[in-house]
A = this chain, B = another copy of it.
């Protein structure tokens, strides 16, 4: 029985995790497939320096990816390089050479996945990207096949493990953002340059991919309103707790009357919901379907082996297609063709809000702020002030009933210029729909 042959490009953490699983789990993989999945060639910048599993000691190594994508025996190219420059060339060249592609590359698939899929269809090859979002959670298989019959109404994700680790650590030990970030960097949970994680760009790419899959529209990262977590402080968790909530960086995609609304932003979510129980470097996705109602998926968001499982599972699926010799296959975006997306600004939407202020205390502050809100027709739900001994930097919170975000932003713009403000007010939506 003919085996299917794989070329692996990129021997970083994910590449080595993938090879380890392919080596150690080879017998079970063959039992499931009914044929062998073999590694024909591996490629990395300095391939001699890499320690491969014994089973692959004799597999040819190269530092020239072109040798992999043009290799006459390679059926599937696994692009595990990341980024949008060389990786893009690799994927395009693989497709041009009639190779199917498995990729773990969220940036590339978020930016250009729909175009790449169009080329894959034209070339009659397959494209798979389970590893690109939420490594250990098979959310692509779920949306593409498991619940494909449903009509998704909303999807909420915790998709960045670094941010979730930082948020739950601030919550757990009450330390400042900067302190927790430094500790996360020391432990390897955050990069030396953490901005892609903590400013939301990583989560945004992941949401672009999942929203395209769930809603069948062509979404790129620029379509998504994005705020990072730098301004979240321990006091916000104290107030959130008093309000029966916690705070997470929530990636949200939901159908509104106007269309699909997309955002990545720190948000208050009710304690006691299953999404609020996601701790540390875990990822989770909450899906609300018109028919299937609520489903929830949870697992490791990253790591060589959880992500490696996603790559290997994709390799198995694509290998089956190749053995079958059939060009028809399930789109990695669940829809054969994606529709055009017309972004809906979050400002047009209504939400309950949490506003946190730091002020120099003096009489009349609430009256002033209340007037600014009332002038725009915004109703206050509650005013909270936890005990504090600082008159010069006094934190307190106002929560708002459901209000249009544009009006809230106008009010905030006016408030920030008031002379008693120590810093700009912080606003977060309160997710009551979960």
In contact, A146 and B150 (Cβ under 8 angstroms): no
Interface residues of A in 236-268 (CB under 8 A from B): none
A362 within 8 Å of B (CB atoms): no
Provide the A323-337 mask, 1 if CB < 8 A to any CB of B, else 0.
110101010001110
In contact, B300 and A297 (Cβ under 8 angstroms): no
Residues of chain B lying within 8 A (CB to CB) of residue A311: 149
CB-contact partner of A315 in B29, B149, B277, B291, under 8 A: B149
A105 within 8 Å of B (CB atoms): no
- How many identical chains are in the complex? 2
- The number of chain A residues with a CB under 8 A from chain B is 60
A298 within 8 Å of B (CB atoms): yes
- A136 to B149: give the CA distance in the assembly, Å: 11
CB-contact partner of A297 in B20, B149, B295, under 8 A: B295
Q: Which residue of B lies closest to A215 (CB)?
A: B28
In contact, A298 and B296 (Cβ under 8 angstroms): yes
A83 within 8 Å of B (CB atoms): no
9-residue interface stretch from A154-162, A302-310, A344-352, A379-387: A302-310
A66 within 8 Å of B (CB atoms): no
- A25 to B315: give the CA distance in the assembly, Å: 31
9-residue interface stretch from A41-49, A111-119, A137-145, A412-420: A137-145
In contact, A149 and B29 (Cβ under 8 angstroms): yes
Interface residues of A in 309-323 (CB under 8 A from B): 309-313, 315-317, 320, 323
Interface of A with B (CB < 8 Å)? Answer: 17, 20-21, 25, 28-29, 31-34, 130, 136-138, 140-142, 145-151, 216, 274, 277, 289-300, 303, 305-306, 308-313, 315-317, 320, 323-324, 326, 328, 330, 334-336
